Chains A and B, each alone.
Chain A
Amino acid sequence: MLTREDVEKVAGLARLKLTEEEISEMADKLSQVISYVTVLDEVDVSNVEPMAHVADVANIFREDAVRESLPREAALDNAPKSDGKYFLVPQILENA
C-alpha cells in the first residue's frame, strides 16, 4: 500500500501539484497498479539474464556525419517564450 508520503514524493519528482483529494485517490490507484504487477514476483527469475531491450538487437549505429539542423525559427517555434534567439524560461535559481 502506497502512503501519502510516497505519492507526494512521486508527484514532486514529476513536478505535479496534487490536491488533497487527488493525493488519496492516487494512493489508491497507484497501489492497485503495484499490486497488479506484484504478480510478477511469483515467477522465479533467478536464472534469467536481465533484459536490456525488448528487441533482440544490438549495435545499431549511424556514421559520424553532419546533417542539416532545423532553422532557429523552427527550433524556437514551440517554445512558450523566446526572444527570437534563445528559449526563455523563468529565472533559474542556482541555490533554489
Chain B
Amino acid sequence: MDYTTIIGLEVHVQLLTKSKIFCGCANLFNPDNPNVQTCPVCLGLPGSLPVMNRKAFQLSVKTGLALNCDIASFTKWDRKQYYYPDLPKAYQISQFDLPFSADGWVDIEVPSTGETRRVRLIRAHLEEDAGKNIHDESGRGADSRVDLNRTGTPLLEIVTQPDIRSAEEARIFLEDLRLMLRYLAVSDCEMQEGSLRCDANVNLHVEENGETIPTPIVEIKNLNSFRGVEAAIEHELKKQVKAWQTDPRRMGEVPKTTVGWDANRNATFEQRGKEEAADYRYFPDPDLCPVTITQEEVDEIRSTICELPGVRRTRYVSELGLTPYDAGVIVDQGAEFASYFDEVCVTCGDGKQAANWVTQDVQRELNERKLEIGEFPVSAPVLGAVLKKVVDGELTIKSGREVFATLLSDAGDGTRISAERIDAIIADKGLGKEQDTGKIDAVIQAVLDRNAAVAEDVRNGRMQAVGPLIGQVMRELKGADAKDVRQMILDKLQG
C-alpha cells in the first residue's frame, strides 16, 4: 500500500495575562477553588458588556509575528454559537473571517530524517476559553459539575496547513512551538494545566492506479501531552491503514469523525458519530468594536521579540562552534538559561568552554539544588570571570572547578559571590597555575630521582608508568597543568 500521511494541527494556547480577556477576573489556574474567578461578564449575565484586554491583544500580535504571520490592519470579533454547559453565554467570542493574523510558518528539524520541514500556518486568532466540565465517572449518571474559573481566559488558536507528515513531526512541531511561546513569554504552556492543548486532523493520501485518493479525515480532540500527540496519531494512522485495506472509503463517503484519546488504554474512542456538520452561525459581535493596528505599532511589538530558539541554535553552531547537540541542550533550557550561557560566553570569550561548564557543572548543580537559573548563586559574570582565567591559561580546568566549588560552598554560608572573590580563593588555596618552569622542572627532577625504577620503565616505553609520576608532581605543585607536566616528564626521559 502506497500512501502519504497527512496531518494538520489546531493548537490552543492560553495567554499569560493577569486578567481575563474581556473582564477583570484573575486569569489563574485554580482548580481547587472552583467558581471564585467569575463576574457578570464571564458568567454571561444579561446587561454585562465585554471590554478587550489590551495586553491579550499585544501578546497575540507578538506571537503572530514570531510565527511569521501577516498581521491584519483591521480585525474584529464574532460570535460562535453552540450550547454546552461550560459556555454560559451559549456563544464563544472568537474571530471568524478577519483573524488578527494569517499565513505564517514554522520550520522544524526532524532528527530521524535529518530534514528541515516547513509547516505553514493558515491563521492564528484570538478567542475566549470556555469553563471546565467535570464528569461523574462512577457510571451512576450523577450530575456533571461545572467550574467557570477558566471562562474568558484569553486563548490563541493556531491552525496549521496539513503539512505534517508523521506523528514524530507533529510532536516536534508542538515541542518547538511550546519552546518558542515560552521564549516569547506569551504563555506558560503548562500542558498538565491545559494552557497548551492540541487537536489533530489525520488522514491518508493513498496512491492507487495512478490516482491520489484522500481518505476520510479523523479529528483527535484535546491532546494534552507530547507523548499523547505522538501516540494518538500513530494509533490513528494504523487504524486508517487497516480500514483502507479492509473497507476502503474515500473522503466524502463518510462524515468526518471526531475521536478522543484515552492515554491509559492507548486507544481512541469515538466522540461524535453521524452528527451533521456543526453550524455555528457566526456573526459580528455587536458588543465589541473592531481593532485596527498601524505598521508602527506592529514594528514596536516586533522590537520586543527576543532571539528565538531556532535562530539561537543556529548561531551557537555557526558562530560559536558548538555541536548541534550542545546548542540544543542550552536552547531547550529556556530563554533565561540561554541568556546566562550567552553572558558567560561573552565574558570568557570561548563558546565551547562556556558550553561545557554551563551544560555540565552548572546544570548538575541546578539539578542537585533544584534551582532555576535565575536563583543560581554563581552569576554569569562571575562564572565567566573564572573561565576567562582558564581560557587565558592562568588556571587549569581542574583548579577552575575547585574555584567554582568554593564559590558555591561560600554561597551556602551566605557570602556574597562576586568576581573579586575569585582571586582571593585562588590565593588562599594556591590554585594559581604554576608558571615558573624552573620550579616545575626542579620538582619533576626530584620525583624522577626518587623513582628511578619507574622512570626507567618509562624510558623503555612502558607509557602507563608515567601516570604515577605525574601524580606525585601534581601533589607537590597544585597549580601545575597535568598535561604540561606529562610533556615535561616525557621530554626529560625521552629527549
Contacts and interface: CB of A to CB of B under 8 A. Distances in A.
Interface of A: 9, 13, 15, 52-55, 57-72, 75-76, 78, 81, 83, 85-92, 94-95
Given A85-B34, A91-B135, 16 more contacts: A13-B81, A53-B286, A58-B74, A58-B290, A62-B24, A62-B51, A64-B19, A64-B55, A70-B38, A75-B36, A75-B148, A85-B145, A88-B145, A89-B85, A89-B146, A95-B273
B292 A53 contact: no
Contacts of B17: 64
B43 A64 contact: no
B39 to A, nearest CB: 5
B300 interface: no
A61 B271 contact: no
A63 B273 CA distance: 44
Contacts of A89: 85, 133, 143-144, 146
A43 to B, nearest CB: 19
A61 B144 CA distance: 36
A86 B146 contact: yes
A79 B278 CA distance: 27
Given A64-B17, A69-B38, A91 B143 contact: yes
Given A61-B53, A88-B144, A91-B142, A66 B292 contact: no
A72 B260 contact: no
Contacts of B260: 94
The 3 closest A-B pairs by CB, nearest first: A67-B24, A64-B55, A86-B145
Contacts of B270: 95
Contact of A92 (B135, B284, B289): B135
A25 B155 CA distance: 42
Given A75-B38, A88-B145, A57 B289 contact: yes
Interface in B17-34: 17-19, 23-26, 34
B25 A13 contact: no
A87 B148 CA distance: 9
A94 B260 CA distance: 9
A16 B32 CA distance: 36
B418 to A, nearest CB: 37
Given A13-B279, A89-B143, A94-B260, A62 B54 contact: yes
Contacts, number: 134
Contacts of B35: 72, 75-76, 85-87
Interface of B: 17-19, 23-26, 34-40, 43, 45, 51-57, 74, 76, 81, 83-85, 98, 133-136, 141-148, 260, 269-273, 279, 281, 284, 286, 288-292
The interface residues of chain A, by DSSP majority, are classed as loop
Given A90-B144, A91-B135, A64 B18 contact: yes
B292 A59 contact: yes
A49 B289 CA distance: 16
Contacts of A83: 145
Nearest to B134: A86
Nearest to A94: B271
B83 A15 contact: yes
A70 B39 CA distance: 5
Contacts of B83: 15
Contacts of A87: 35, 85, 145-148
Contacts of B281: 13
Contact of A66 (B24, B147, B284): B24
Contacts of A90: 143-144
B146 A88 contact: yes
A64 B145 contact: no
B34 A86 contact: yes
A53 B25 CA distance: 26
Given A52-B284, A55-B289, A61-B51, A67 B148 contact: no
A54 B286 contact: yes
21 contacts: A9-B279, A15-B83, A53-B284, A58-B290, A58-B292, A61-B51, A63-B53, A64-B19, A64-B56, A65-B19, A69-B26, A69-B36, A69-B38, A69-B39, A75-B38, A75-B43, A87-B35, A87-B145, A88-B143, A91-B141, A92-B135
Nearest to B83: A15
A53 B76 contact: yes
B232 to A, nearest CB: 16
B18 A66 contact: yes
Nearest to A81: B143
Nearest to B59: A64
Contacts of B84: 92
A52 to B, nearest CB: 4
Given A53-B289, A58-B292, A87-B85, A92 B144 contact: yes
B311 to A, nearest CB: 28
Contacts of B142: 91
A62 B291 contact: no
